[in-house]
Amino acid sequence: MKKILIKLTALFIVLTSLFAAGCDSPGHTDTSASSARGETTAQSTTKYPPATLPSQSTQQSTSQSTSPSSPDLGTISKEDITDEKMNELITQKYLSVHENSRPGYKLDELKNIVIHYVANPNTSALQNWKYFENKNNVSAHFIIDLDGFILQCMPLDEVAWAIGTQEGNYTTISIECCHPDSTGKFTDATYESLVKLVSWLCQKYDLTADQVKRHYDYPRTNSSGTVWHKSCPRYFVDHPEKWEQFKNDLLIQ
């Protein structure tokens, strides 16, 4: 009996330390694990290899993204975010319906569009889709690739395990963005597609730029009561002025 108590005590100490550190275990901010689960792929160390070498245009965009300036979006217009144009840009590849990936629950209402980064440098949209499909308690509605390719993972009226709180998961559409390095800065192609996608969604659902949020903007509380914010998407968290510029780049009336 004494040995069993010692083992249980040790296990309790380990679990307590993990939660106190703000580990991304699903549901630790809410009383309902199923309603509060979900982050971005940043919450776990994945095992898949880096993305295949991008096309020449993507390599050029990646090189350009190292510049402190943002992409020149002067050529984007309202004509680029019509339903027809966006349907050409978006490929639907829905996740299997499963409690730990795409639960199939309906949104309570749509309040915000939330931007994330995958936190796995130089991985592709498809690789991150496969991570979601493997039922890792995480998902999103869209993933934007390094070359601007957009993958839609589920219908827009369904819940994704993306935010980590019930309120966040049930009232948002989440967009994951791939990135070439650990800074989290998007390629020009990814950035441009993100501007188009968010502009289109805001137009479609009559949302304002103020209703476009970073994952960072949803505070979390760990088991010890400490409030913390996830550094996601990292580049926009580290450079808030770039986040404001992104919102100004949106084509919203």
Residue-level pLDDT at 222: 85
Cβ-in-10-Å burial (0-12, 13-18, 19+) of 248 comes to exposed
Residues facing 98 on adjacent strands: 102
Return the structure tokens found at 192.
């441009």
Helix (H) or strand (E) holding 17: helix 2-20
Handedness of CA 178, 179, 180, 183 (dihedral sign): negative
Q: Can you list the positions of beta strands (E) in 29-141?
A: 90-92, 112-117
Helices (DSSP H) in 107-153: which residue ranges? 125-133
Choose between 172 and 6: higher pLDDT: 172
Nearest CA-CA partner of 143 in 167, 105, 115, 122: 115
Could you tell me the residue ranges of all domains in the chain? 26-249
Under the banding of pLDDT at 50, 70 and 90, the label for residue 33 is very low
- Whether residue 184 contacts residue 234, with contact meaning beta carbons closer than 8 Å, is answered with yes
As its CATH architecture, domain 26-249 has 3-Layer(aba) Sandwich (3.40)
Mean pLDDT value of segment 38-49: 39
Query: Residue 175 and residue 162: Cα distance in Å, rounded?
Result: 9
Residue-level pLDDT at 44: 35
Q: What is the pLDDT of residues 64-92, one digit of tens each?
A: 333 345 666 667 899 999 999 999 999 99
Residue-level pLDDT at 43: 36
Mean pLDDT value of segment 33-47: 44
Helix (H) or strand (E) holding 56: helix 56-64
